[in-house]
């Protein structure tokens, strides 16, 4: 998690040296390029520590971007990226990435771990809010095909150190769940393919 965080910082610094430095409002196309630089041109991230955003529910993306802009959520890198975005731009960016298909890009699967993750996710009833195929809905993010290490670090953060502005539901849902169990669920979810919309 630490190393991937550093890489994300580097990526952000590279971006900051680009168009984001100017005083002029950044054109929409440039904004999308900024998103793509870390999250992938099609919204499926190939950068460790950076989540895939393709196919995420629109309300989730909007809420997350607004609360990040307000400084109440998200990483310092993302806060810098969304500074000054208007609501209109946030709605447009969210609509763009919602419409893109999510692609699962797993590495090698450990079938034992996948099975354990499947059972745990069932036991913890993740599918009630995230839906049975884990595609997410409304304000609830999709989990299917998300990057494994991002799922791990996010679940651990929810469990141990939820920042202000984050809904407490996930913290309660992950209370008392061990790192090993979180790893298994992340392994399973990152390899899960949601049904096509």
Q: For 109, what's the count of Cα atoms within 13 Å in the CB-facing half-sphere?
A: 18
Q: Which of 17, 164, 195, 196 binds other proteins (CB under 8 A)?
A: 164
Q: Which of 18, 25, 27, 71 touches other proteins by CB under 8 A?
A: 71
Listed ranges 22-30, 75-83, 97-105, 155-163: which one lies at the site for other proteins (CB under 8 A): 155-163
113 binds other proteins (CB under 8 A): no
Contact call for residue 175 and other proteins (CB under 8 A):
yes
Which phi-psi region, left, alpha or beta, contains residue 183 (left: φ > 0; alpha: ψ -120 to 50)? alpha
Q: Which of 11, 16, 36, 59 binds other proteins (CB under 8 A)?
A: 59
* Cβ partners under 8 Å of residue 107, min gap 6: 148
Part of the chain binding other proteins (CB under 8 A), chosen from 33-41, 111-119, 146-154, 174-182 = 174-182
* Interface pick for other proteins out of 20, 30, 129, 193 (rule CB under 8 A): 129
Distance of CA 101 to the CA centre of its chain: 15
CB half-sphere exposure, 29, CA atoms < 13 A:
0
Q: Enumerate residues 6+ apart whose C-beta is below 8 A from 65.
A: 82, 85, 90, 93, 94
Question: How many amino acids of this chain bind other proteins (CB under 8 A)?
Answer: 37
Residues 192, 123: Cα–Cα separation, whole Å: 17
Q: Which residues are near other proteins by CB under 8 A?
A: 59, 62-63, 66-67, 70-72, 87-88, 90-91, 124-125, 128-129, 138-139, 156, 159-162, 164-165, 168-169, 171-180
């Amino acid at each position: 998690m630490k190393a991937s965080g550093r890489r994300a910082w580097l990526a952000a610094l590279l971006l900051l040296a680009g168009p984001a430095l100017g005083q002029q409002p950044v054109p929409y196309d440039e904004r999308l390029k900024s998103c793509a630089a870390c999250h992938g041109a099609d919204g499926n991230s190939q950068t460790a520590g950076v989540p895939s955003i393709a196919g995420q529910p629109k309300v989730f993306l909007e809420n997350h971007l607004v609360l990040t802009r307000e400084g109440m959520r998200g990483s310092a890198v993302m806060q810098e990226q969304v500074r000054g975005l208007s609501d209109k731009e946030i709605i447009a960016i969210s609509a763009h990435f919602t419409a893109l298909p999510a692609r699962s890009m797993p590495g090698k699967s450990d079938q034992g771990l996948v099975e354990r993750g499947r059972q745990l996710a069932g036991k913890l009833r993740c599918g009630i809010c995230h839906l049975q195929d884990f595609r997410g809905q409304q304000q609830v993010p999709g989990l299917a095909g998300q990057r494994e290490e991002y799922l791990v670090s996010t679940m651990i953060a929810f469990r141990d150190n939820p920042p202000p502005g984050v809904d407490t539901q996930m913290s309660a849902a992950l209370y008392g769940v061990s790192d090993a169990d979180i790893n298994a669920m992340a392994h399973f979810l990152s390899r899960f393919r949601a049904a096509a919309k």
